[in-house]
Structure 1
């Protein structure tokens, strides 16, 4: 089953000479409908402005066109809000060039509501006093909130609308939908003169013909005395997908054979095997132009594992959507494939794991330089609402020029691909446990701050060769276990390093995500230019700062006291 909607829409100027309402439904391709959903929108220009019809048309057209130009990796909320923020900026700028500069009521201003159906969910975007309802057999459930301010004496004015100010605050909500659900979008000229009975009558009279029902609603509002422009949109969910399809259709792709040197495969010539595991084979290959690529192929062991095969299909898709020198690049899609595999750039260099073996006691500047580059790679992913989720020394390459590159995107979480079934959060434990943030184990899921924790673990390990909490983190089973995590102070292993560095890392490795630095840029800045909170002498009790040293010292004191007491007892005899 696929997502299908039945839509009807109609608008009339009514008694006014000009229709300042605007409405529309997107006509996406099948691929766009799967990745971005189906969008419909309605807008109402303010009657006091001579140019508000320009604003309402620009708002609807811009949204329905530009929304499908946003990244497929983004969530509906982020994509829609970016598009609407740009539209708002343009409308406000136009107002500042005209009469709206001195009188907002004469500017490029309109109200706006949209529904985006994606997967098995529907998303509401709203600002102003157009309305969105869910239609029930005996009632209309208002889903949007009117942004209208009421004054003493009964007067009202729009508190929020597109084009009023340079900053836009737009409402967003989402919920699971069901086959057969019906929604109504309407401007005030329509909903002020319609009720649940009128809507039910129109739907009952015209059956599945939603267009005729929308026309009937507009006619009913005008017949009941509406003196404004009247616009009504009806949408009914006809069918929903059973599940969210992966971005790459692997159904027509066969599992590849095991490759050998000098073998020809899908336009590549195999040079040598790089790695073999029970789940995958990694080979070095060259294309027809002599360029080197690393091919990763699933083994027969994964034949019945649809989840892992979907990861194979998605890994290259993710790499192709990131443009950063610090994230591995995918081979260009030059030809249709017959087998399931990924092709990414071959990097001449060494893993961070090997680098740490070669540099057991590196200087702080070396480590900071590597951390800076890792952070830039992660930030490139985060800008696309992606999480790497498997940050570990074996998944970082340092090429011969010293560039640090994130590799192995098989565990990446893409929010835009996950939403549609009720939860876009990264809840799955996908990476290597000892580098994973505690919130994955407590059920809160991943975030950019969770990846900050993983980066801090790497920084600590590069400096000391050890993990900051040993193997305690994977033992967390709930929030109550977080207080059991004991950070081993950096200077117990590297007393040559500055005290402030220990405090920076301790903060980044806090078990509670809210107590860490809240952005990778903040953590990187603290590594280079620590603020006063890290330069002040630590007044934390010794038991918390150095628990091992505290208990060793306490044991020594008790031992000495015991010896003294025994000595006194013996001398007394």
Structure 2
């Protein structure tokens, strides 16, 4: 990820004061990290206003801000910003709600909450209550949040939504594109309620070069307008956007030279080449032995692509992704040594045939064996999905059958939500995987998701049971939605009479051309693979047009001729 290092820069200031109240129940906080965290998580700024009717208002706001700024940065760096932030916010809400329910003094741990996360070239807003987020751009001050309040009468409003009020919290979320010079303001109602909007805008315009002066003057202005509440404000200006430039990224990616093609007996960095495991135009995989006599697999890039930044980035990202996927069903990536002399990465060596070799040797598999292997595939893929990562290239060559079960050994086509969100300084090559196994939405431009990996898994199971492809040879030639919609699923029972009807239906559903018609979760599909779905115990009666289309068309042709003949006779 070094080549994606964010260059996001801001000028920031914040201030919080009790004002005319005896206690400050507001809390403000921010975290401006460096290095990888700045790239994968960004800058987080948050404000909370404890609900004053609650005796635990101050503790609630402090818990929300401290917990969010700590836990958000502890979430996996492969997750999207929304995924990370919402998991943390919902967890904090549950904690506050539980404390309210269990308080022997009847205290309510309630607080409003607004957070702004800046990542790459985007801003993400998460909001509950009546704290606010504003943006000044091109001399226009825009309120980006809405107050969750209900007016009871002319002078009284009621907070309709707050953290800690309910076991499940509804959070407003927004995503915005950043521009250099954007100014964001986060404020509690003690600031924005008494200050007229025109005066607030004039203040921001006047002090847009000095964030410290802006926040101090805002507090003074609120007091001047007789604010009776706590006073909290945060101000930040975007000085530089976050995506690194292409030249910098290429320089980082090119720090290590490409290795030569190795032969058995050669050594590099304390590793001895034992044999070639796999080689293609894109990469080579060697069995190597380290100085402790451990057998490892070493993957090296192909010299053909040493002037291709997109290829180099994807190769570098393979190791980064693999190091973050923890599962017995996924090969373990060995942390890279700082003393590497060239570009490669190491994984555990998994002895055993690939699924492709197994199918070549044995042909179709017994149903119980095929389903058991599929269960192992699902365990491995779930590890990717838990990290918001799609594999995108599940095929027999990328799965090794070890003595302990199947192991996924390739990360070359993975899509990572958090990395995609961070942006890229170079144009990426979107490898779609192998046509026979990739989901149709990759080719017709549909929305890809976990259901796309489900489709590939189902193709693998279909092949293990039949030795064929579920849509025949026409599938790999289809490139647009219209072509895919013309395809018809070929029942696995046609090629393997031992496949039960209910299993065939489970396959057909997972192989739906429309991803919305597949299973909502892999666990649901696995359940239907291991035990009959009650709805599919009795085979459905298929239309004659599907089972014997030639008979239908022949009958229609005869009927047409008979009708024509009858009309001619009737005229006579």
- The answer to whether TM tops 0.5 is yes
1:9 aligns with 2:14: yes
1:492 aligns with 2:490: no
Residue 410 of structure 1 aligns with which residue? 412
1:121 aligns with 2:122: yes
Give the C-alpha shift of residue 387 in structure 1: 0.5
Q: 1:405 to 1:489 in 2, by over 3 A?
A: same
Give the C-alpha shift of residue 201 in structure 1: 3.2
Give the C-alpha shift of residue 348 in structure 1: 0.4
CA contact (8 A) 2:121 2:241 kept: yes
Residue 551 of structure 1 aligns with which residue? 549
1:310 aligns with 2:313: yes
Structure 2 residue corresponding to 1:291, chosen from 282, 289, 294: 294
CA contact (8 A) 1:131 1:185 kept: yes
- Counting only pairs closer than 5 Å after superposition, residues 22-421 of structure 1 correspond to structure 2 as 22-98=27-103, 101=106, 106-136=107-137, 139-151=140-152, 155-243=156-244, 249-399=252-402, 401-421=403-423
CA contact (8 A) 1:252 1:338 kept: no
Q: 1:206 to 1:558 in 2, by over 3 A?
A: closer
Q: 1:225 to 1:257 in 2, by over 3 A?
A: same
Residue 451 of structure 1 aligns with which residue? 453
Quick one: distance in 1 between partners of 2:17 and 2:250? 41
Give the C-alpha shift of residue 421 in structure 1: 3.8
CA contact (8 A) 2:544 2:552 kept: no
Q: 1:525 to 1:53 in 2, by over 3 A?
A: same
CA contact (8 A) 2:253 2:309 kept: no
Quick one: distance in 1 between partners of 2:140 and 2:74? 37
Q: 1:305 to 1:100 in 2, by over 3 A?
A: farther
Give the C-alpha shift of residue 353 in structure 1: 0.9
Quick one: distance in 2 between partners of 1:384 and 1:127? 27
Q: 1:72 to 1:437 in 2, by over 3 A?
A: same
SS at match of 1:232: strand
CA contact (8 A) 1:302 1:309 kept: yes
Quick one: distance in 2 between partners of 1:27 and 1:560? 79
Quick one: distance in 2 between partners of 1:435 and 1:555? 33
Quick one: distance in 2 between partners of 1:247 and 1:73? 22
SS at match of 1:397: strand
Q: 1:410 to 1:264 in 2, by over 3 A?
A: same
Deviations 1:46-102 (A, max 9, x none): 11122211111111111112211111101111111112222222222222232674x
Residue 509 of structure 1 aligns with which residue? 511
Q: 1:188 to 1:244 in 2, by over 3 A?
A: farther
Quick one: distance in 2 between partners of 1:455 and 1:277? 24
Q: 1:558 to 1:145 in 2, by over 3 A?
A: closer
SS at match of 1:208: coil
Q: 1:313 to 1:138 in 2, by over 3 A?
A: closer
Deviations 1:362-408 (A, max 9, x none): 22111110010001111110000000000011111101x14101111
Quick one: distance in 2 between partners of 1:281 and 1:37? 36
CA contact (8 A) 1:147 1:159 kept: yes
Give the C-alpha shift of residue 21 in structure 1: 0.6
SS at match of 1:220: helix
Quick one: distance in 2 between partners of 1:266 and 1:145? 59
Q: 1:143 to 1:204 in 2, by over 3 A?
A: closer
Residue 564 of structure 2 aligns with which residue? none
SS at match of 1:149: strand
Give the C-alpha shift of residue 558 in structure 1: 8.7
Deviations 1:271-320 (A, max 9, x none): 11222222222111111111111111112201111111111111111111
Give the C-alpha shift of residue 532 in structure 1: 2.5
CA contact (8 A) 2:311 2:429 kept: no
Quick one: distance in 2 between partners of 1:23 and 1:431? 47
5+ long unaligned stretches in structure 2: 1-5, 561-572
Give the C-alpha shift of residue 198 in structure 1: 2.5
Quick one: distance in 1 between partners of 2:397 and 2:148? 52
Quick one: distance in 1 between partners of 2:66 and 2:110? 15
SS at match of 1:32: helix
SS at match of 2:127: strand
Give the C-alpha shift of residue 459 in structure 1: 0.8
5+ long unaligned stretches in structure 1: 563-573
CA contact (8 A) 1:504 1:530 kept: no
Give the C-alpha shift of residue 32 in structure 1: 0.9
